[in-house]
Each structure stands twice: as structure tokens, then as C-alpha cells.
Amino acid sequence: MRASGPETLTHALVSGSLPFVGTYGLLEVAGPVLDALGDPTRRAILETLRRGGPSSVGGLAERIPVSRPAISQHLKVLGAVGLVDHESRGTRNIYRVDRTGLDELRAWLDRFWDDALEAYADHIRRTESGGEQ
């Protein structure tokens, strides 16, 4: 018997009729990459490609306990944010890590740490000049 009630109705209506809306515009480019990496299966796919090199969907499905259609869907998301790329070889696509998305994420993280280090340096300068204890 299927569950019923307000939770089921809400989930069906919300997941089926509303588009995803990003709420954190501050993350610019890094936001979609972070969203993609928020899924553990996508992280496993990316790590498998990083360690094992280029692979087909079937090859990934052999190493990750997820169906081929699920692997394909995850690869589509990873490709959309620039984390994987593919080339066609006959009837198969061979996927590999694309550093573009990782470079964008790294640039965002570098800005974060640059700001943190600058704030720390400002604190040290104020402390040394006797402005703070």
C-alpha cells in the first residue's frame, strides 16, 4: 500500500512542478560545482576517474555500486559544471576528469583563503602597533 498524507502530496507536487532555484548567488561559478560535489555518488565517480583514468559508463558501473543509467545521469551533472568531459569512441563515450570545474572551484577557495589571510595579517599589524591586546 502506498503512503498517503500531506507529506506525500507535498513531495509529489513540489518535486514534480517546481524548478530548482539556487539561493546562494554569492558563490557564482563555485556554487554549481559545490552542488554537484554535494552528492556522494558524484564524488565517487570523480574520484574513480581521477585515480583510474578515463572510463566508459560500463567501466564506472563495474567499480561503483550504481546502475549504468544512474552513472550516466551523474556524469551529465558533472559534465554540466565542467568536472568531467567525454569523447566518443564508436558507440561508447569515454569520460575523464576535466580540470576546468576544479580550477574554478580552486580559484574560489583561493579567494576565500586570501581574504582570511589578509584579515589575519591586519590583526597582527594592529596587535604589533599596540592597537589591540
User: Per-domain residue ranges for the chain?
Assistant: 30-123
Does the pLDDT at position 28 exceed 70? no
**Model pTM greater than 0.85?**
no
Band of residue 7 on the pLDDT scale cut at 50, 70, 90: very low
11 CB contacts (<8 Å, ≥6 apart)?
none
**84-103 mean pLDDT:** 91
The CATH fold of domain 30-123:
Arc Repressor Mutant, subunit A (1.10.10)
Among the listed residues 75, 77, 78, the one whose alpha carbon sits nearest the alpha carbon of residue 60: 75
What is the tens place of the pLDDT at every residue in 42-63?
999 999 999 999 999 999 999 9
